[in-house]
Amino acid sequence: MRTTGNVTHGIGAWRARARRAVGDTVVGVAIAAGALAALGLFLTTTYFVILFVIGIGAVALPIVTKGVRWLCNANRRAAGRSGVQVNVPYVPEPQEFEKDIVGWMRRCKWILTDPATWRDLLWLLLNTGVGMIGLLPAAVLYYALEGLAVALGLWKPILDATGHGRWYCFVTVDSWPTALLALVPTIGVFLAWLWVSPLILKTHAYFTRFLLGPTERTLLASRVRHLAETRTTALDTQAAELRRIERDLHDGAQARLVGLGITLGAVERQLDRKPEEARRLLLEARQSSVLALRELRDLVRGIHPPVLAERGLADALRALGIASPLQVEVTADIPGLPPAPVESAVYFSVSELLTNALKHSGADHVEVTVWHESDVLHARVTDDGRGGADAGQGTGLTGIRRRLAAFDGTLDISSPAGGPTMTKMEIPCVLSSPKTSSS
């Protein structure tokens, strides 16, 4: 059984590598085609930049720039497919421009003052040559298929017409034995295609990141903008949370406590004249006090669940899993104590994701994995539902993203149609003293 499993795993690995090589070959051809288009875009953009400098060309410059940035973003995505992440470095577009010549000139100024625009032009020029390496995987695959065709006897018409053998690699094919011998280099070329194709595209991906990735200055400016946005979001969220607490206290526990005071006043008036009525009112007062206490506990649990303070994040997430109707498997490796606000953010985020999986995904099983690595707290929630989750549809995932952004955290969602849905959260934080409770 183990041997069969190993063979099956090996075949699956070869299939996956072959699929990856085919995909790399297709992407490489697209990169090469884009390199051909890059020269035209470079010349066109440069032409309109020059025209803009001398007073004309402002009409076409924003239109051409859209094409340039589309091509650059396509190559950034191709680099990401090779495992080389290339972030978009462009300065955010200001508020909507006026629909007149002044607004169009402001748009041109925004484009020309962005350093990424000039790096795009340099990449377009250099990629005209460098991008041609995208054809190498297709060329190697073609050579492997040619060797296979020669080995299958397709050399015979050529031999009949010319009287000479067909040369392939280091073998001159003019008979069936030499045709079979040609299979040896054919297999070698095919294996080279499988292994070399990803390396070729990764080489182009590093070139793309070098020119199209954000510089240190761009990263710093982006960081400042991100912190300003998250600070505003955090303040708005805090204000909304305070209003919610005030509303819940006013409409819930406060109202019950006021009613409790009125009931006790009635008890005081009826105590001597109508003892039975006083006893009934005391029973109502007791029930009101129980309800008020329950609402206060629910309110406190919504601010900071007691289980977090008592047992820590790992056990709190396990408690969430136990309480969920779904089959929830929780794995936690947290060798210390995260800051309390971070614990609360992760707890409520996972709780929201479990609720989404129950209500919308049709999932039966959910895996929750939490770990701390390199001063970053990671949390991953994966369900076996139907997929199709989109942060742009509804407020649940958007709320989680805003909650994490207050701590400079991120939320990544992978939810293809048919599932599974995997949501990964990352929050930079430093753990305090090692945990003492069991996990």
**Residues 121 and 112 sit within 8 Å (Cβ to Cβ):** no
User: Would residue 123 count as lying in a domain?
Assistant: yes
Instruction: Check whether residue 103 and residue 200 sit in a common domain.
Output: yes
Among 303, 327, 345, give the residue marking a domain's end.
303
User: Would residue 325 count as lying in a domain?
Assistant: yes
Instruction: Check whether residue 126 and residue 164 sit in a common domain.
Output: yes
- Summarize the chain as % helix, strand, coil (round to 5): 70, 10, 20
User: Would residue 399 count as lying in a domain?
Assistant: yes
Among 187, 214, 241, give the residue marking a domain's end.
214
**Residues 276 and 327 sit within 8 Å (Cβ to Cβ):** no
Model pTM score: 0.51
Among 264, 286, 303, give the residue marking a domain's end.
303
- Number of compact structural domains in the chain: 3
| 325-345 pLDDT tens trace | 888 899 988 888 888 888 888
- Residue 1 scores a pLDDT above 50: no
Neighbours of 344 (CB within 10 A): 19
Instruction: Check whether residue 99 and residue 234 sit in a common domain.
Output: no
User: Would residue 433 count as lying in a domain?
Assistant: no
User: Would residue 64 count as lying in a domain?
Assistant: yes
Rounded Cα distance, 409 and 428, in Å: 7
Instruction: Check whether residue 124 and residue 160 sit in a common domain.
Output: yes
Rounded Cα distance, 117 and 91, in Å: 10
Give the mean pLDDT of 372-382. 89
| 248-280 pLDDT tens trace | 666 666 666 777 677 777 777 777 777 777 777
Q: Which of 60, 92, 364 is nearest to 225 (CA)?
A: 92
Give the mean pLDDT of 153-163. 58
Backbone angles phi, psi at 344, to 5 degrees: -65, -40
Instruction: Check whether residue 280 and residue 405 sit in a common domain.
Output: no
User: Would residue 437 count as lying in a domain?
Assistant: no
The long-range contacts involving 162-165, CB below 8 angstroms and separated by at least 24 positions, are none
DSSP string, 374-426: TTEEEEEEEE-S-----TTSSSHHHHHHHHHHTTT-EEEEE--TT--EEEEEE
Instruction: Check whether residue 158 and residue 195 sit in a common domain.
Output: yes
**Residues 172 and 165 sit within 8 Å (Cβ to Cβ):** yes
Instruction: Check whether residue 294 and residue 321 sit in a common domain.
Output: no
Give the mean pLDDT of 217-239. 64
User: Would residue 439 count as lying in a domain?
Assistant: no
